[in-house]
Amino acid sequence: MNILVINGPNLNLLGIREPDLYGKQDYKALVKLVEDTCAQEGIGVEVFQSNHEGVLVDKIQAALGTVDGIVINPAAYTHTSVAILDALKAVALPAVEVHISDVSQREEFRQVSYAGRACIKTYMGLGLEGYRQAILYLKEFLKQNEKSGTEA
Ligand code: CA2
Protein backbone atom coordinates (compact mmCIF):
# COMPACT_ATOMS: atom_id res chain seq x y z
CA MET A 1 0.00 0.00 0.00
CA ASN A 2 1.36 3.40 -1.02
CA ILE A 3 -0.03 6.79 -0.19
CA LEU A 4 0.73 10.41 -0.94
CA VAL A 5 0.47 13.12 1.72
CA ILE A 6 0.01 16.58 0.21
CA ASN A 7 0.35 19.88 2.07
CA GLY A 8 -0.59 23.25 0.65
CA PRO A 9 0.69 26.81 1.03
CA ASN A 10 2.49 28.05 4.13
CA LEU A 11 2.40 24.72 5.93
CA ASN A 12 6.19 24.66 5.44
CA LEU A 13 6.23 27.57 7.93
CA LEU A 14 4.52 25.63 10.73
CA GLY A 15 5.84 26.39 14.17
CA ILE A 16 7.06 29.92 13.45
CA ARG A 17 3.81 31.76 14.35
CA GLU A 18 0.22 31.23 15.49
CA PRO A 19 0.96 28.34 17.89
CA ASP A 20 -2.55 28.67 19.33
CA LEU A 21 -3.96 27.67 15.95
CA TYR A 22 -1.34 25.35 14.51
CA GLY A 23 0.73 24.20 17.50
CA LYS A 24 4.41 24.60 18.21
CA GLN A 25 5.74 21.79 16.07
CA ASP A 26 7.41 22.62 12.77
CA TYR A 27 7.00 21.13 9.29
CA LYS A 28 9.89 18.72 9.88
CA ALA A 29 7.97 17.29 12.84
CA LEU A 30 4.89 16.88 10.67
CA VAL A 31 6.90 14.98 8.04
CA LYS A 32 8.44 12.78 10.75
CA LEU A 33 5.04 11.99 12.26
CA VAL A 34 3.69 10.97 8.85
CA GLU A 35 6.76 8.90 7.95
CA ASP A 36 6.89 7.19 11.37
CA THR A 37 3.16 6.40 11.26
CA CYS A 38 3.43 4.95 7.78
CA ALA A 39 6.53 2.90 8.67
CA GLN A 40 4.69 1.44 11.71
CA GLU A 41 1.68 0.60 9.54
CA GLY A 42 3.69 -0.88 6.66
CA ILE A 43 2.63 1.85 4.25
CA GLY A 44 4.89 3.45 1.65
CA VAL A 45 4.59 7.23 1.69
CA GLU A 46 5.69 10.37 -0.10
CA VAL A 47 5.17 13.67 1.69
CA PHE A 48 4.85 16.66 -0.63
CA GLN A 49 4.39 20.38 0.02
CA SER A 50 3.92 23.27 -2.38
CA ASN A 51 2.83 26.89 -2.18
CA HIS A 52 1.52 26.77 -5.77
CA GLU A 53 -1.96 25.68 -6.80
CA GLY A 54 -0.94 24.34 -10.22
CA VAL A 55 1.92 22.34 -8.73
CA LEU A 56 -0.55 20.75 -6.30
CA VAL A 57 -2.87 19.93 -9.21
CA ASP A 58 0.07 18.38 -11.13
CA LYS A 59 0.99 16.27 -8.09
CA ILE A 60 -2.58 14.99 -7.68
CA GLN A 61 -2.71 14.11 -11.38
CA ALA A 62 0.64 12.29 -11.14
CA ALA A 63 -0.71 10.22 -8.24
CA LEU A 64 -2.97 8.28 -10.59
CA GLY A 65 -1.57 4.79 -11.05
CA THR A 66 1.28 5.36 -8.61
CA VAL A 67 -0.41 5.46 -5.18
CA ASP A 68 -3.50 3.89 -3.60
CA GLY A 69 -4.76 6.95 -1.77
CA ILE A 70 -4.14 10.55 -0.75
CA VAL A 71 -4.11 12.49 2.50
CA ILE A 72 -4.42 16.19 1.75
CA ASN A 73 -4.30 19.46 3.64
CA PRO A 74 -4.80 22.00 0.86
CA ALA A 75 -4.35 24.81 3.44
CA ALA A 76 -5.78 28.12 2.13
CA TYR A 77 -6.60 26.51 -1.24
CA THR A 78 -9.16 24.42 0.64
CA HIS A 79 -11.47 27.41 0.60
CA THR A 80 -10.84 28.64 -2.95
CA SER A 81 -9.64 25.94 -5.31
CA VAL A 82 -12.06 24.30 -7.70
CA ALA A 83 -8.94 23.16 -9.62
CA ILE A 84 -7.81 20.99 -6.69
CA LEU A 85 -11.35 19.66 -6.27
CA ASP A 86 -11.49 18.77 -9.98
CA ALA A 87 -8.06 17.09 -9.85
CA LEU A 88 -9.14 14.94 -6.89
CA LYS A 89 -12.35 14.03 -8.70
CA ALA A 90 -10.45 13.30 -11.92
CA VAL A 91 -8.00 10.82 -10.36
CA ALA A 92 -10.82 9.36 -8.23
CA LEU A 93 -8.39 8.02 -5.62
CA PRO A 94 -9.66 7.74 -2.05
CA ALA A 95 -8.63 10.98 -0.36
CA VAL A 96 -8.82 12.11 3.28
CA GLU A 97 -8.78 15.81 4.14
CA VAL A 98 -6.87 17.11 7.16
CA HIS A 99 -6.86 20.50 8.88
CA ILE A 100 -4.63 21.15 11.85
CA SER A 101 -6.98 23.81 13.23
CA ASP A 102 -10.72 23.50 13.70
CA VAL A 103 -11.78 25.41 10.60
CA SER A 104 -15.46 24.98 11.55
CA GLN A 105 -14.88 27.37 14.47
CA ARG A 106 -12.93 30.02 12.53
CA GLU A 107 -13.77 32.78 10.01
CA GLU A 108 -16.76 32.26 7.73
CA PHE A 109 -14.58 32.02 4.61
CA ARG A 110 -12.92 28.93 6.12
CA GLN A 111 -16.25 27.12 6.47
CA VAL A 112 -16.21 26.19 2.79
CA SER A 113 -14.07 23.29 1.64
CA TYR A 114 -13.98 22.58 -2.08
CA ALA A 115 -11.44 19.75 -1.77
CA GLY A 116 -13.53 18.19 1.00
CA ARG A 117 -16.27 17.46 -1.52
CA ALA A 118 -13.99 14.88 -3.14
CA CYS A 119 -12.80 13.37 0.16
CA ILE A 120 -14.15 10.34 2.00
CA LYS A 121 -13.45 11.85 5.43
CA THR A 122 -12.20 15.06 7.08
CA TYR A 123 -10.19 15.46 10.29
CA MET A 124 -9.93 18.95 11.78
CA GLY A 125 -8.82 20.53 15.02
CA LEU A 126 -6.67 17.61 16.14
CA GLY A 127 -3.32 19.26 15.43
CA LEU A 128 -0.74 17.03 13.77
CA GLU A 129 -2.54 14.01 15.25
CA GLY A 130 -5.13 14.56 12.50
CA TYR A 131 -2.59 13.32 9.95
CA ARG A 132 -2.08 10.10 11.92
CA GLN A 133 -5.84 9.57 12.17
CA ALA A 134 -6.23 10.24 8.45
CA ILE A 135 -3.54 7.71 7.55
CA LEU A 136 -5.11 5.03 9.78
CA TYR A 137 -8.57 5.72 8.32
CA LEU A 138 -7.24 5.59 4.76
CA LYS A 139 -5.42 2.32 5.47
CA GLU A 140 -8.63 0.71 6.82
CA PHE A 141 -10.64 2.05 3.90
CA LEU A 142 -8.15 0.66 1.38
CA LYS A 143 -8.05 -2.71 3.16
CA GLN A 144 -11.85 -2.94 3.14
CA ASN A 145 -11.96 -1.94 -0.49
CA GLU A 146 -9.35 -4.53 -1.42
CA LYS A 147 -11.47 -7.20 0.27
CA SER A 148 -14.74 -6.14 -1.32
CA GLY A 149 -12.96 -5.97 -4.67
CA THR A 150 -11.96 -9.65 -4.45
CA GLU A 151 -15.35 -10.95 -3.28
CA ALA A 152 -17.47 -12.89 -5.78
O1 CA2 B 1 -5.91 24.21 9.84
C2 CA2 B 1 -5.33 23.94 8.78
O3 CA2 B 1 -4.63 22.95 8.64
C4 CA2 B 1 -5.40 24.93 7.60
O5 CA2 B 1 -5.49 24.15 6.42
C6 CA2 B 1 -4.12 25.74 7.65
C7 CA2 B 1 -4.06 26.85 6.63
C8 CA2 B 1 -5.33 27.70 6.64
O9 CA2 B 1 -5.32 28.63 5.58
C10 CA2 B 1 -6.59 26.83 6.55
O11 CA2 B 1 -7.72 27.67 6.62
C12 CA2 B 1 -6.63 25.83 7.66
C13 CA2 B 1 -2.81 27.74 6.91
C14 CA2 B 1 -1.50 26.99 6.78
C15 CA2 B 1 -0.32 27.50 7.55
O16 CA2 B 1 -0.40 28.84 7.98
C17 CA2 B 1 0.60 29.35 8.79
C18 CA2 B 1 0.34 30.59 9.35
C19 CA2 B 1 1.27 31.18 10.16
C20 CA2 B 1 2.46 30.54 10.43
C21 CA2 B 1 2.72 29.31 9.88
C22 CA2 B 1 1.79 28.71 9.05
User: What pLDDT shows up at residue 107?
Assistant: 97
Shortest-distance atom of ligand 1 to CA 73? 5
Q: Is the pTM of the predicted complex or chain greater than 0.85?
A: yes
Q: 79 C-alpha vs ligand 1 centroid, how far in Å?
A: 11
**CATH (domain of 51):** 3.40.50.9100
Q: Pick 19 or 105 by higher pLDDT.
A: 105
Full residue range of the structural domain in which residue 84 is found: 2-148
Ligand 1 in contact with 22 (CB < 6 A)?
Answer: yes
Domains contained in the chain, number? 1
Residue 18 pLDDT class (50, 70, 90 cuts):
confident
The answer to whether the CB of 140 falls within 8 A of the CB of 2 is: no
Would you place residue 35 in the very low, low, confident or very high pLDDT band (cuts 50, 70, 90)? very high
- Long-range contacts from 10-18, C-beta under 8 angstroms, 24+ separation: 10/51, 10/75, 10/76, 11/49, 11/73, 11/75, 12/49, 12/51, 14/100
The residue whose CA is least distant from atom 5 of ligand 1 is: 75
- Residue-wise pLDDT for 56-112, tens only, equals 999 999 999 999 999 999 999 999 999 999 999 999 999 999 999 999 999 999 999
What is the pLDDT at residue 149? 55
Please report the pLDDT score of residue 65 as a whole number.
Answer: 95
Q: In this predicted structure, what is the pLDDT of residue 17?
A: 87
User: What percentage of residues in the chain have a pLDDT greater than 90?
Assistant: 91
Q: Give distance in angstroms: CA of 77 to centre of ligand 1.
A: 10
